[in-house]
Structure 1
Amino acid sequence: MKLPSIKGFDEEAFNKYLKNTGWLMFGKVLSLIVGLFIARYLGPDLFGDLNFGLSLVAILAAVGSLGLDTFIIREIIKEPARKAEILGTSLWLRLVTNAAAIPIAMAIYNVSHKISRSPGEPLTIMVGLLALASFFKSFNVIDAYFQSQVQSKYVVQVQNICLILSAILKLLIIYWGLPLIYIVLALVFDGLILAIGLIIIYHKRGFSIFEWTFNADRARSLLKQSSPLILSAVMISIYMKIDVVMLKSVGSKAVGIYSAAANISEAWYFIPVAIVTSVFPALLNARKTDIDRYHKRLGNLYDLLVYICLPVGLFISFTADFIIHLLYSNKFEGAGAMLSIHIWSGIFVFLGSASSQYLIAEGYTKVAFYRTAAGAVVNIMLNIWLIPKYAGVGASISTLIACIVSTFFILFIPKTREQGKMMLKSLFLVTTFQKILKR
């Protein structure tokens, strides 16, 4: 199937994107469907407990990744003969960090639970198990290797095989009526089989992880390079997950209802990443050869993302209650209002994803960090104010405003202001109307 031509972008690049991301989209849809079954089965209280644990662990997992992926790829491309040293050193750094994160996650939860006197039973064991599931993500260094060789299709295939096995297991847990802890154990199983799958596919390509070595000098070099990205990754995780963690003070049910809405709203966030990734090489090439064409392509990208978001946002805003009732029956009363607000965060996430590539291309990494930090701070401050008054609706409003602040933070920086203006023109369809009037 041919993808329709989009002005300003290479049709072949988009057709390649469509072909290479078919399995990725299948995996995302499958995860969404299984997630809906789990939410309906657990109900808002237990579903809230599960999402609270996942969000708390996700913030710590941002530290565990050590921001190494980009540097692993770069180092392997630069020194292919030192592949075993680079991968081995990266793996050991992650294993040690993620292992330490397990007791830390449990301790943080225990302290916060006692201080806040959150309602409900302690979730210490669940948090520890979810941190263990995150521990197995240390083996994602193998994914970074395949990315460096432009062979990500092997990883996507492994991921989807694991997703299918995981889906079967979780559906059986639901069918047998087993308690929440078994779903948590299934998530640990997810991490384990994905790690095993990555090791198997790596060995099938004729390599062996037993050849990997640890080098202390390499470790220091990698950590020195990635240290700014660790803090940035933590800020991104706080920015995306802190609302769920802070909602726990209101109760598990509030977390569950909000998570039901947020999971639907965020289900398609992989789309802008895939689109932006597919056109990024063309943008970089244009920047080298024709700066005017480079800016034009950026504008076209912003327009495209707005064209995707606006119809979806309008449709879901008017049908949010019906969608929640259809997917969750009457178990998540009030999630419709949250969804109708939260869905509009997507348009700013899309624009933020595209403008982040611009910041990377121009070397404005500090600006990228500052914008994320601004979003995180705004989200926390608004949550402190709005969650006690409006619970999940307050968290939805906080997330939307934080996304707006983060995306358009670049307006306040003189060297990036023009990009902010371009995004505003796309957002308010100014460039669209200009193109119509020129015809």
Structure 2
Amino acid sequence: MLVKLTKKINVNFEIKKIISNAGWLLFDKFVRLMFGLLVGVWVARYLGPETYGQLAYVITLISFFQVIALLGMDTILVRDIAHNIDKAHQNLGTALILRFCVGFLCLIVAVGGVAFFNGAHFALLTLLAGGGLVFQCADTIDIWFQSQSQSKRTVIAKLCAYTITNIMRVVLILCHSPLWAFALLLSIDALLSALALTYAYRKFRTKHQWSATVEKCKLLLSESWPYLVSGLSIILYMRIDQVMIKNLLGEESLGVYAAALQFSTLWNFVPVTLSVSLAPYIARKKREGEHEYYKAIGNVFLMFSFIGWGITLIISVMSPFIIEIMLGTNYTNGIGVLAIHVVTNLFICLGVAQSLWIVNERKGTFTLYKSLTGLVVCGIANLTLIPYYGIKGAAISAVLSQFSASILFNLFFAKRIFLMQLKSLFFLR
């Protein structure tokens, strides 16, 4: 009786810890959402579709390299630290060094590649905006906080930096600053976030000083490479449409498309944030037994489906009011884009939920094949639909690729997960 009571108390404490951690992460994203709706939209209105399209194009190119610089290690590091906290300093130290070196290399390649294909103007914007490729190695500190359900430390640190950056962004608008200043502010934001995280770490350290080892480097890279390639594939099929729109339809169309997507993609943080807090919990359920493990996974699918449906229906119905009120008449062509593209949130929610299963089953290559499927579908759909339907065709392609990668793929290679996803779509247990 005493053992059962103790176990129940521990479970309740664990759940409260998860809820508290998720609450802090959601608070962070909510504040960023407010800044995005106010300052981010103001920037889009100030720059106009064509100039904003240039900035969006540079951000899209940098996002490809940001995925590479992170090396796909986040969930692996959280899992390993949750299993053995005594080795946390080696995991984190090795990841930090790897990410710094790769990030610096990515910045050089990004600027050189853009200079060759797009000219000096876009190369300068990439150089000014690409500092985050180097500074984001400090996000390794966040991995430590995540593993200990201490994400509030990351939230406070990054929100301080983000608030300062947005104040500076408003100043730039009021001073009628040029495009390059807004590009530079992206690197400044990354630098301030890195400094704030470093300060936060001083208040909550690991037991031992961080250190890097060649052996740990090999182990991390050997397991993380499928997640890296899959992450790159995901960002490709989520952003390649913007590259194709710029080349096929022009910078103005890209500006309208990118501005409309702000109101669709900003909701992606909800399932991602919750999955970060649930990752240690699911990892522990895996050790408790098959029944408890799949019961927990099923509940996650059900919860994420409810969230996905809520986002999709509300934003789709409100899309005319959102575009006209927030962005103005210059962006009215984005109404249909938003109404269609927001459907991706439903499939993204279920895909993120499945990632918890993939990590605990150590099926890294599975993630790779799923994302490659999405990339192939996205490429074919965009080439087919954009010439006929313009930016709406790109939105339809995004929905098709997310559905293929997140759900349809499982029909052939993970039927148990597919059935769980299908039931969750209709709120069945």
TM-score class, shorter:
0.7 to 0.9
**Which moved further from structure 2: 212-221 or 184-193?**
212-221
Deviation at 1:231, TM superposition (A): 1.3
Correspondence for 2:306: 307
Q: 1:110 to 1:137 in 2, by over 3 A?
A: same
2:10 is matched with none
Q: Structure 2: give runs of 5+ residues left out of the alignment.
A: 1-13
Q: State the Cα distance separating 1:244 from its structure 2 match.
A: 1.3
Residue in structure 1 matched with residue 168 of structure 2 by the alignment: 169
Q: Structure 1 CA distance, aligned partners of 2:428 and 2:416?
A: 14
For residues 310 and 233 of structure 1, do their structure 2 counterparts lie closer, same or farther at Cα, with a shift above 3 Å needed? Answer: closer
Tell me which of 16, 21, 28 is aligned to 2:32: 28
What amino acid maps onto 1:156 in structure 2? Answer: V
Q: Which moved more, 1:319-328 or 1:405-414?
A: 405-414
Counting only pairs closer than 5 Å after superposition, residues 147-158 of structure 1 correspond to structure 2 as 147-158=146-157
Please give the TM-score of this superposition, normalised by the length of structure 1.
0.85
Q: How far apart, CA to CA, are the structure 2 residues paired with 1:389 and 1:340?
A: 18
2:410 is the alignment partner of 1:422: no
Identity of aligned residues (%): 27
1:248 is matched with which residue: 239, 246, 255?
A: 246
Q: Please say if residues 226 and 364 of structure 2, whose CA atoms lie closer than 8 Å, have aligned partners that are also in contact.
A: no
CA change 1:163–1:291 in 2 (3 A) is same
Q: For 2:359, give the aligned amino acid.
A: I
TM normalised by structure 2 equals 0.87
Instruction: Describe the shift of the 1:135–1:208 C-alpha distance in structure 2 as closer, same or farther (beyond 3 A).
Output: farther
Structure 1 distance, partners of 2:133, 2:146, is 21
Q: Could you tell me how far 1:245 is from its partner in structure 2?
A: 1.7
1:4 is aligned to: none
Equivalent residue letter for 2:34: L
Q: In the TM superposition, what is the alpha-carbon distance from 1:421 to its structure 2 partner?
A: 2.1
2: CA distance between counterparts of 1:305 and 1:77? 23
User: Which stretch has the larger CA shift, 168-177 or 101-110?
Assistant: 101-110
Matched, 1:431 2:407: no
Determine the C-alpha separation between the residues in 1 that align with 2:256 and 2:308: 24
Rate the CA distance shift 1:407–1:74 in 2: closer, same or farther, 3 A. closer
Preserved contact between residue 147 and residue 280 of structure 2 (Cα < 8 Å): no
Mapped to 2, the partners of 1:226 and 1:165 lie a distance apart of 34
What is aligned with 2:217?
Answer: 219
Which whole-Å deviations, capped at 9, do the CAs of 1:130-158 have from their partners, x for residues lacking one?
22222210121222233333322211110
2:236 is the alignment partner of 1:238 = yes
Residues 206/398 of structure 1: CA separation in 2 closer, same or farther (3 Å cut): closer
1:418–1:257 Cα change, 3 Å: same
Q: CA deviation at 1:280?
A: 4.8
- What does residue 117 of structure 1 align with? none
Aligned to 1:354: 353
Give distance in 1, aligned partners of 2:90 and 2:289: 39
How far is 1:390 from its partner? 2.4
Please give the alpha-carbon distance, in whole angstroms, between the structure 1 residues aligned to 2:288 and 2:204: 37
* Aligned twin of 2:192: 193
Q: After TM superposition, give the deviation of residue 175 of structure 1 in Å.
A: 1.1
Q: Distance in 2 between matches of 1:100 and 1:284?
A: 34
1:344 aligned partner: 343
Amino acid at match of 1:112: F
Q: Aligned-pair distance for 1:206?
A: 6.2
The CA distance in 1 between the partners of 2:46 and 2:306, in whole Å, is 36
1:253-292 equivalences in 2 (<5 Å): 253-280=252-279, 283-284=282-283, 287-289=286-288, 291-292=290-291
* Whole-angstrom CA distance in 2 between matches of 1:214 and 1:11: 33
Distance verdict in 2 for CA 1:422–1:70, change over 3 Å: closer
State the one-letter code of the partner of 1:248. Answer: K
SS of aligned partner of 2:131: helix
CA distance in 2, matches of 1:285, 1:70: 14
For residues 302 and 421 of structure 1, do their structure 2 counterparts lie closer, same or farther at Cα, with a shift above 3 Å needed?
A: same
Choose 69-78 or 57-66, whichever is displaced more: 69-78
Q: CA deviation at 1:342?
A: 0.3
Match of 2:381 in 1: 382
Q: Which residue of 1 aligns with 2:5?
A: none
1:113 corresponds to which residue?
118
Decide whether the 8 Å contact of 1:371 with 1:409 is kept in 2. Answer: no
Q: Tell me how far 1:426 sits from its aligned partner.
A: 2.8
Looking at structure 1, the residues matched to 204 and 298 of structure 2 have their Cα atoms a distance apart, in angstroms, of 41
Q: Post-superposition shift, 1:202? A: 2.2
AA at the equivalent of 1:245 = V
AA paired with 1:335? Answer: G
Give me the CA root mean square deviation. Answer: 2.8
Counterpart in 2 of 1:184? 183
Q: Is the 8 A contact 2:307 2:349 kept in 1?
A: no
Q: Which of 37, 41, 48 is equivalent to 2:46?
A: 41
